[in-house]
A and B are shown apart, each in its own frame.
Chain A
Amino acid sequence: MSSITLTVNRQRHTVDVDPTTPLLYVLSDDLGLRGPKFGCGLGQCGACTVLSGGRAIRSCVTPASAVAGTEITTLEGLGTVDRPHPIQKAFVQEEAAQCGFCLSGVILTAKAFLDQNPKANDAEVRQAMSTVLCRCFTHVRMLRAIKRYRQEV
């Protein structure tokens, strides 16, 4: 066990965990966060995505110790029900979900990419989303929501 200090959604937390523990386990179990989810544990689907210093990372395959000292943002750190982030608002407006399990991957991957590449075209957005899954196949609405966010920001 070792003590790791993480900054998550602008709050500092010190946790005592095995240093190999993936970040996702710390976020879900030690910090009780609901946004990032275990989808595959292999970094293949996106459900566990969080932002680390503005970059989208897969928290299921990132040891917590590797991101100590960075600013970590989960889906709930982006905005709230009452004060959603513009990309969350765009997704609500487009009703762009079914079961909702994939949303950390879809929203945070799109946000991280568009924040770096605000002028990206549709093909480039798709390329950025190429390792993100939604098994309800809400693709049409999600891409519309991403486009709405791109236009508004």
Chain B
Amino acid sequence: MTPDAHDAFVRAGFSRRDFLKTSGVLVVTFGAASVVGAQGPFDTRPSHIDPQKLDSWIAIAADGKVTAYTGKAELGQGMFTAQTQLVAEELSVPVSSVTLVQCDTSVCPDQGTTSGSQSTPTNFNERNLAQAAATAREALATLAATRLGVPRDQLAIDGGAISIKGNDSRRVTYGDLLAGKAFNLQIDPQAKRKPANEWKVLGKPVPRLDMAAMMAGEFEFVHNIRVPGMLHGVVVRPPAPGATLTGIEESSTAGMSGIVKVVTRKNFVGVVAEKPWQAHQAASQLKVSWTQGTGLPPQRDFYDYLRKQPSRDAFIVNSKDVDEKLAKAAAVVKATYLHPYQMHGSMGTSCAVADVQGNKATVWSPTQSAYPTRSGVAMLLGLQPDSVRVVFVRGAGCYGINGADTVSYDAALLSQAVGKPVRVQLSRQDEMAWENYGFPYVIDQRVGIDGDGTIVVWDHEAWFASMGGRPGTGTPGNVVTGMLAGFSPAPFAPRAASDPTGRFNNGSNAAPSYVVGRVGTTAGGAGVVASERVLTHTIASPFFTGPLRSPSRLQNTFAHECLIDEVAARVKADPVAYRLRHLSDPRLKHVISEAARVARWEARPSPKPGATRRGVVSGRGVACVVYEGDNGYVAIVAEVDVNTASGKVIARRLFVAQDCGPVSNPDGMRNQLEGGALQGLSRALGEEVTWDDQKVTSIDWRTYHSMTLGDEMPAVESVLINRHDVEATGAGETAITVVAAAVGNAIFDATGVRIRQVPFTSERVKAALAAR
């Protein structure tokens, strides 16, 4: 913890021992609890709302209407509708009878952050929201059994009422049973969830409850929040990373109308005005002087630079025989894969409204982390966390961490300075130049094969850059505003690697699917390769980084799934069959087979025989992953065209097979899958953060290259494998993880040329084709 952070903790009423430091993140400590599960950034934890109490999750009014409280937010992924379905299902009421309140810290349980593909695992299995709803139903059934004078097993529950089976006239409603009172019960871990084969609402393609209002322009985003007396703030960011404030000439805005105050705190600068355009004009006009930035490593050599920095190292697996096996292998295939910084690049720039009055604050925020943001705001403002209320209101889709947290801090600082509610919406440049980018990677791999062409050893060594990240409950300096206001990002300390202990954890998919994943005496991987070494080096990033949809999992999977294709090509094996041959996990094998089936995959080695070197050539590629080792299975087949003259790659069709356990809403899952696949395509083909010697230069949609509605997009065909015998897992990050690899493999199939660096821009592909 930095001194600033420590002081803020003390000011905010915490003592140091309240916090346990784990891997750079500060988390509140408390006893383990059966219904709320393990502790991590996504898990449920006690606050002033006790998650063990049923009333913290479910309330039933005298008219029978159900209100449910969740700590997992709608971010455009359909979680509002799916959670409403879940509660409706467990309570046997129509969706229209359920009101879901999301992530308002005054009434909702603390469920950490909505991210990491953890909302479904957290709330749709036998704990948290699902278990609360099941407990509520059983509690109502117990009351009804007494009221109707029959045993529980003779009751039928439907439409918010409970009757005696076969005797509909003996019936009592939820409203009658509770008469508007609280349950006053603990969540019962034994309360039975409804079996999936009885679902009538959950598991069905219920249309998104917010869809019609969004289409009609009536839906309220955080950008639309208006509070009486509200003023407008615009922040003035430094010109470059590391630049510090040296002076402000307030006279530079003399005569401009509507200016309320110029606010500074260390290196944080903002202008508050009566109207947003006035604030914008004043911030543009204000003369602010800064030191030079600290300078940036040249982008052209950045991947070499990554290898040479002090690093924090970790072994994910290490069988200790890798060098020996590589030396003895019949052949070794080695390759280096490169992945750039990419950005979340939200459609809307981030916005928040804060109202700080004395020692109380309310923040209307699109943050994915309501309670952690409450802590961060409290630290910044010197308030008690309990004096801060964070109300989640939807923003633009975020895919990890856009500027939602930082702009919440901006609004809070400005509101505190003027004592009035302040709305802040970032400029496009401030959003893009300062967000927490997805990690850049260099990945070296060596794979040894035996005389039969079977992989016997896999060696993976990766370097990636990291700074900051989600602020969590104690590190507001993990995003730009917190840092400018005097807090530091989580400290970076180089460290040598030690051998893994405990259970196998694939380390954000650093371990390829094809290894056994042995730690100690047990193997937790999805594959058969026993000689395995996965070593990661984290280095200090010159830019803020954070979780960008499929963080590290995508970059690692790009490297693994391209490399296995290289090996398959070396031994002239069919890429699908070659994968299946090196996997042990039946669910992963099944999704590969399903993707191949719907794609009418023709079994043959790559590259495609007889391909010409002129005109437009086509090819296909496959890739697969088990996300995080246990959080969703996916395989994809991509069919692409490559224009050999221009280097332009156009994906024609994507076939995606996915197994994420029981599906809560098949249309919602398809929507996520399609969006993930196409977002993955945009990232694979064009997206890259750029910089010069001082500052980021990809600061708008001309300099950061997203695919548009005008680009030729592939048809996406999806296969959802809906299993009811396993836990529900995440589905928001599966498809995106495998796209770059499948497209890279398809380019190779079409041209015989392997592109090992994302993005596959026309220039890069053209140069690679010219060099063959």
Contact = CB atoms under 8 A, between A and B. Distances in A.
Nearest to A41: B428
A80 B278 CA distance: 32
Q: Pick from A84, A91, A140 the residue with the most CB of B within 10 Å.
A: A140
A152 B716 CA distance: 24
Contacts of A52: none
Contact of B219 (A18, A34, A107, A126): A34
Please name the 9 residue pairs, one residue from A and one from B, whose CB atoms are nearest each other, closest first. A130-B710, A35-B217, A99-B76, A75-B217, A99-B397, A137-B678, A100-B214, A76-B217, A129-B709
Interface string B201-242: 000000110111111111111011010000010000000000
A33 interface: yes
Interface string B641-682: 000000000000000000000000001000110111111011
A132 B428 contact: no
A114 interface: no
Contacts of B602: none
A134 B211 contact: no
Which of B667, B678, B708, B711 has the most chain A CB atoms inside 10 A of its CB? B708
Contact of B675 (A28, A107, A137): A137
Contact of B678 (A32, A44, A97, A140): A140
A79 to B, nearest CB: 6
A47 interface: yes
Is chain B's interface secondary structure helix, strand, loop, or mixed overall? loop
A107 B679 CA distance: 20
A1 interface: yes
A91 B395 CA distance: 20
Given A84-B216, A99-B397, A47 B277 contact: no
24 contacts: A28-B276, A39-B348, A47-B347, A47-B348, A76-B218, A84-B212, A88-B215, A91-B215, A92-B207, A98-B397, A99-B75, A101-B395, A126-B709, A127-B710, A129-B709, A130-B708, A131-B708, A134-B347, A135-B346, A135-B347, A135-B399, A136-B347, A137-B677, A140-B715
B720 to A, nearest CB: 15
A131 B702 CA distance: 10
A40 to B, nearest CB: 4
Contact of B708 (A22, A95, A129): A129
Given A95-B207, A98-B671, A133 B216 contact: no
A103 interface: yes
A7 to B, nearest CB: 17
B347 A17 contact: no
B345 interface: yes
A74 B217 CA distance: 8
A79 B394 CA distance: 22
B425 interface: yes
B347 A39 contact: yes
Interface string B683-726: 00000000000000000111000111111110110000000000
Given A81-B212, A97-B215, A140-B678, A34 B224 contact: yes
B208, B397, B715 interface centre (most CB from chain A within 10 Å): B397
A101 B399 CA distance: 14
B276 A136 contact: no
Contacts of B676: 137
Interface string A53-80: 0000000000000000000001111111
Given A75-B216, A80-B216, A140-B713, A101 B428 contact: no
A136 B397 contact: yes
Contacts, number: 196
A18 B259 CA distance: 14
A22 B277 contact: yes
A136 B210 CA distance: 16
A141 interface: yes
Contact of B349 (A38, A77, A128, A139): A38
Nearest to B256: A18
Interface in B347-364: 347-349, 351
Interface residues of B, number: 66
A23 to B, nearest CB: 11
A128 B708 CA distance: 11
Contact of B710 (A28, A104, A129): A129
A36 to B, nearest CB: 8
B216 A81 contact: yes
Contacts of A78: 216-217
B277 A104 contact: no
A38 B397 contact: no
B216 A76 contact: yes
Given A92-B212, A100-B76, A132 B207 contact: no
Q: Which of B215, B219, B708 has the most CB of A within 10 A?
A: B215
A98 B76 contact: yes
Residue from B78, B214, B427, B667 whose CB has the most chain A CB atoms within 10 Å? B214
A100 B76 CA distance: 7
A33 B275 CA distance: 16
Interface in B415-448: 425, 427-428
A8 interface: no
A112 interface: no
Contacts of B207: 92, 95
Contacts of A92: 207, 211-212, 215
Nearest to A88: B215
A149 to B, nearest CB: 12
B635 interface: no
A102 B424 CA distance: 20
Given A135-B706, A139-B713, A38 B425 contact: yes
B701 A40 contact: yes
B738 interface: no
Contacts of B278: 18
A51 interface: no
A45 interface: yes
B618 to A, nearest CB: 19
B700 A40 contact: yes
B214 A97 contact: yes
Contacts of A28: 223-224, 276
A132 B708 contact: yes
Contact of B679 (A18, A91, A136, A142): A136
A94 to B, nearest CB: 10
A117 to B, nearest CB: 15
B710 A132 contact: yes
Contacts of B226: 32
A138 to B, nearest CB: 6
A57 B701 CA distance: 18
Contact of B709 (A79, A98, A142): A142
A85 B682 CA distance: 31
A33 B672 CA distance: 29
B347 A101 contact: yes
Contact of A137 (B276, B277, B682): B682
Interface string B342-384: 0001111101000000000000000000000000000000000
Contacts of A128: 710
Given A32-B226, A34-B224, A75-B216, A95 B710 contact: no
A44 B706 CA distance: 11
Contacts of A140: 674, 678, 713, 715-716
